Amino acid sequence: MSHQLRLALLQMHIDAGNPEANFAKLAGMLEEAVSQTDKPDVIMFPEMWNTGYALTDIQSIADRNGERTKAFLSEFSKKHQVHIIGGSIAELKEDKVLNTVYVFDRDGNVAADYSKIHLFRLMEEEKYLAAGDKLGKLEIEGAGAGMMICYDIRFPELARKLALEGAKLLFVPAEWPHPRLHHWRTLLTARAIENQMFVIACNRMGSSGDTHFFGHSLVLDPWGEIIAEAGEEETILYADIDLALVDAVRSKIPVFEDRRPSIYEA
């Protein structure tokens, strides 16, 4: 039996250090997404959309306990009866800032959350952010799913762990910059192929200081084929997926049945 989902990925510019501008930008794009005749079932947006990588100011501008974000997205998801994979935000918890995704179901409830567990030294995340310590697991319309954030996709064992625990979809919010477009597309494709799952990745676009972000949000099927890909402009990327394809692919090439973890897992 097919199980169709319509996705909307909000590939947006993020104004580093300016939460007010970013909330306003997101609100406009959300309204545009739900105004479509064929309304999406799931809406997703990029990593650290509320603050960008204004890391030197992050303690003062992060969303305390995610309260503003949760109130805003809960109300929107309930009003429009849509699932939201809330990108990720800079979230202040006690005296630490985490890079956290909140997920909302169609009734506006927080259905899951995940804080980035691999901090990216090239952008000095480890100096300003605290790492999460749990898997990002959720359900969408009864289907198991997982979350990873940006740098996380360089760790195949994390995606495999999520797949082994039932994920058929992998959601990836990101701020992935030039010149590593080839890495972005290749790593996401590999995660889809090796785990026979849908990979849904939403990247930001635009510039922040000397760093330029290329967009290219992607939706990949369990064969690693591209269902939809954005360019570098600000846009909403729509895609339709059929969750039944996961079981079909896993039946055709039974990778999970043929694993021999006793040999290669510590």
Question: 25, 70, 116, 168: which one is catalytic?
Answer: 116
DSSP collapsed to 3 states, the chain: CCCEEEEEEEECECCCCCHHHHHHHHHHHHHHHHCCCCCCCEEECCCCCCCCCCHHHHHHHCEECCHHHHHHHHHHHHHHCCEEECCCEEEEECCEEEEEEEEECCCCCEEEEEECCCCCHHHCHHHHCECCCCCEEEEECCEEEEECCHHHHHCHHHHHHHHHCCCCEEEEEECCECCCHHHHHHHHHHHHHHHCCEEEEEECEEEECCEEEECCCEEECCCCCEEEECCCCCEEEEEEEECHHHHHHHHHCCHHHHCCHHHHCC
| Predicted confidence (pLDDT) per residue in 191-232, tens digit | 999 999 999 999 999 999 999 999 999 999 999 999 999 999
Residue 123 — very low, low, confident or very high, per pLDDT cuts 50/70/90? confident
47 is catalytic: yes
Question: 47, 91, 125, 175: which one is catalytic?
Answer: 47
How many domains does the chain fold into?
Answer: 1
Q: What percent of the chain has pLDDT over 90?
A: 95
Q: What percent of the chain has pLDDT over 70?
A: 99
pLDDT of residue 150: 97
75 is catalytic: no
265 is catalytic: no
pLDDT of residue 231: 98
Average pLDDT over residues 63-85: 98
Residue 2 — very low, low, confident or very high, per pLDDT cuts 50/70/90? low
**Distance between CA atoms of residues 249 and 17, nearest Å:** 43
Question: 150, 168, 175, 202: which one is catalytic?
Answer: 150
CATH number at residue 82: 3.60.110.10
Domain extent, residue 254, equals 4-264
pLDDT of residue 265: 84
Q: Which residue has the higher pLDDT, 50 or 3?
A: 50
pTM flag (> 0.85)? yes
Residue 3 — very low, low, confident or very high, per pLDDT cuts 50/70/90? confident
